[in-house]
Amino acid sequence: MKVVVVESPAKAKTINKYLGRDYEVIASFGHIRDLPPKDGSVDPEQDFHMVWELADRGASRVSEIAKAVKGADKLILATDPDREGEAISWHVLEALTARKALKGIPVERVTFNAITKASVEQAMRKPREIDQALVDAYLARRALDYLVGFNLSPVLWRKLPGARSAGRVQSVALRLVVEREMEIERFKPREYWTIVATLTTADGATFEARLVGADGKRIQRLDVGTGEEAAAFKRDLERATFQVASVEAKPAKRHPQPPFTTSTLQQEASRKLGMAPAQTMRVAQRLYEGVDLGGETVGIITYMRTDGVDMAPEAIQDARRVIGKEFGDRYVPDAPRKYSVKAKNAQEAHEAVRPTDMGRLPKMVARHLEPEQAKLYELIWTRTMASQMESAELERTTVDVTAKVGPRTIDLRATGQVVKFNGFLALYQEGKDDPDPNAAPLGRAMEEDEESRRLPPMKAGDPLKRERISSTQHFTEPPPRYSEASLVKRMEELGIGRPSTYAAVLQTLRDREYVKIEKKRLQPEDKGRLVTGFLESFFRRYVEYDFTADLEEQLDRVSNAEIDWRAVLRDFWRDFSAAIGETKELRVTDVLEALNGLLGPHIFPDKGDGSNPRTCPTCGSGQLSLKLGKFGAFIGCSNYPECKYTRQLSASGVEGEGDGSSAEGGQPGVRVLGNDPATGLPVTLRDGRFGPFLQLGEASTEKGAEKPKRSSLPKGLSPSAVDLEKALALLSLPREVARHPETGEPILANLGRFGPYVQHGKTYANLGKDDDVLEIGANRAIDLIVAKEQGGGRGRPAADPGRPLGKDEASGRDLVVKAGRYGPYVTDGEVNATLPKTMTAEALTLDEAIALVNAKRASGGGKPAKRGAARKGSARAASGDKPAAKKTAAKKPAAKKAPAKKTSSG
């Protein structure tokens, strides 16, 4: 018997079918070991010695692998073909060696780029040893991220209250977002005009030509800057005679884009499918690991974490065959296309992301896939096919026109483009992130119409008749905010991080509330601005783009066995530790002074009336400045305590939202939204210990006085998006949504400790992520309550019935995935197993569920509380395997462990 170790149960299931009875395939569920989230896990004093510990379920996974290996003929490590995959195999081998579980059993490492029978069998015939250079590159990256997180984050906590943490790559990505926002805020619009003549040929055909020159001088886009200049050109053109000066038609070609890499897949899925990078990678993982195509489980795309744009020769030939069959021989180039990587610091040049079988057309597999999977597979298939198709053949025509008025000559130009042969455009055209916002609207329209517009027949010397002359005013626009796709593209261009990490970096920025997404665009939160400002002021080198890219290049050299990984760490740590040491004497006043200068234009925007934007609006003599309080940064007056004016950091709190004064002696984070029309009491938005909240009126110091009404903000609602109307609606909760169809009693919508919910009597039902507590309607509320009541008893809220997955043939038990208090979990009625973060309840398969439950049973945890147990125990059991986790909490408090984990990410 040969034991094969892979990462996931889905991958294990697929490969097991290919290899047969002589093999046992076991999933490690990703990494089995990690650095303990505490100081000392990486010790620079001991030449960066790293201490590893088994992850939450690592011990049970190692035990299962060790048990399977006992008496086996061979151990085959078949994790993914990249640095992370190499590291997982290394960790498994190290853990088994430490347990002395191998005892002379040979160990082999195999990799395959696609999970198909042919790829797997071929890989098994070409085993190798673990690539230590790739492992070293992983160790260096992990140590760097740990050293930055565990040394820089405490500085943030001490010197910048309210900041969460700082990571090596995420801080640079955040800087990109913040700098773009500052560029937008500094932008000054500039006026310009476009002049367009609508002309007619002798045959009566009309076309448009735009002003490009006058009096022998070329006129650029912004050269006509006033209405007076535009009117002068228009007057002259309305009196001019027009003639064709020249006609030039040139053939041109448009070539297809290469097949997808990790980065371009994320970008295009965002543009065309609206998928976030994390969602794209999750769906692609399922397509790679294997899907059921009518009884056959097979991976239908190649490995999705790659910088490479090349394809295997047999895949190219397969693609050319399908192109000829589906589109005709005219669409097949004479020679196969070859592509090269243009991204800075590209490495791990595996194949591009492509279908494993080019003949597996999207329409053939769509009925076997979930909607998201079908859309992403079609995108990958079309891009791959297009990359090997013939170029599009175009004809671009330029017509120059002269307009004479007296001694003056004015030049105009018309352009057109005709597609002679569509080539790859018959199948695919790459999306665009952001067109030039400062191209004239007419110019953009012309560019967009070129592909389909044909100019009428003309020749030099032909007279033209004027139909009309139009002049249009425009203003230049600021650069657009980054979308997730355009930020990923920019990071790749700069060589920041690795494409496989981009999805996690973006998610971390959102989780830490450093950025938010508004209208699919990334906008920095005030907290993110402060962190970036602090790092630029005191750790500038470590958020510089070139420094981060150079560090990535050194890691690539480590992976190529060119330099020692510890040497990279020594060079980094020498300067970084010195920079950390310099902050020990740093005073909070120094931090405030630096941030006041750096963020001044954002915090104190110009009012446009010549007045000092930093003058206190309450006392008129004090100067406003940034201050730090228990709950973070706020703006306060220099005359405190005589003047108690405070407001939130956002500049939006300056005008139109009350005078900002606080009646609580300068308490930070208090913003007056206005007065309640019904009571006349002030409505304020405040920062509290557990987050922002709304308050109606002021707290009284008199004994027995009624407390002011308060309301928390629903999850996902940014404080900057709260106005008086929304605040009053939240403060008015609970609200009656409907009447119960049987009892006639009210169904109420409200906010609670665990989020928004609807209530009927003693029955409560949580709202879904797409439900709005202020907008939920009667039908939806009734459906939630009825569904809850149908599963409950004795007046208690009904337990989540969950989603049935099927029966485990080995145990005869039915498995169900449910939503628990601590996250989704799977249960067979006897054992509960929490889903790892890499899995979602919606995508969980029966085989994955069985593997999770069996792993939990093997570890002796996850058993539901028996009937009659204490209520708290029952509640915990209903939400997954929390009781088992609680046993370890006595040794290492979770409250300390959780934040530490976050700080070590990059």
Nearest to 206 by CA among 442, 443, 445, 455: 455
Give the Cα separation of 217 and 213 in Å (integer).
5
Nearest to 469 by CA among 406, 412, 407, 400: 412
Nearest to 291 by CA among 209, 365, 399: 365
**E strand or H helix at 414:** strand 408-421
State the catalytic residue, choosing from 146, 192, 288, 303: 303
Number of H helices, E strands in the chain: 26, 34
The pair of structure tokens assigned to 782 is: 């009734």
Residue type at 200?
T
CA 659 distance to own-chain centroid: 37
Give the Cα separation of 432 and 439 in Å (integer).
15
The string over 575-586, giving b where at least 16 C-beta atoms fall within 10 Å of a residue's C-beta and e elsewhere, is ebeebbeebeee
Nearest to 258 by CA among 359, 369, 362, 349: 349
Task: Tell me how far CA of residue 556 lies from CA of 495, 498, 543, 559, 720, in angstroms.
Answer: 11, 10, 19, 5, 42
3-class DSSP state for residue 887?
helix
Active site residue 146: no
The pair of structure tokens assigned to 295 is: 């009884």
Contact 114, 11 (CB under 8 A): no
Give the Cα separation of 683 and 662 in Å (integer).
12
**Residue 230 φ/ψ, nearest 5 degrees:** -65, -40
Adjacent-strand bridge partners of 254: 392
CB proximity list for 101: less than 8 A, separation 6 or greater: 65, 66, 69, 70
Annotate 118-168 with DSSP letters as a single string: HHHHHHHTS-B---HHHHHHHHHHHHHHHHHHHHHHHHHHHHSTT-----H
Task: Tell me how far CA of residue 743 lies from CA of 268, 415, 738, 784, 816, in angstroms.
Answer: 52, 72, 12, 16, 31
- Strands (DSSP E) contained in 430-492 are 463-475
CA 732 distance to own-chain centroid: 35
3-class DSSP state for residue 750?
strand
CA 579 distance to own-chain centroid: 31
Q: Tell me the CB-side half-sphere exposure of residue 553, using CA atoms within 13 A.
A: 11
- Report strand pairing: 2-6 vs 74-77: parallel
Nearest to 877 by CA among 829, 813, 806, 815: 829
> What count of other Cβ atoms lies within 10 Å of the Cβ of residue 140?
24
Q: What is the DSSP letter of 573?
A: H
Contact 471, 231 (CB under 8 A): yes
Positive or negative torsion for Cα 697, 698, 704, 710: positive
- Report strand pairing: 74-77 vs 107-109: parallel
3-class DSSP state for residue 273?
helix
**Active site positions, annotated:** 303
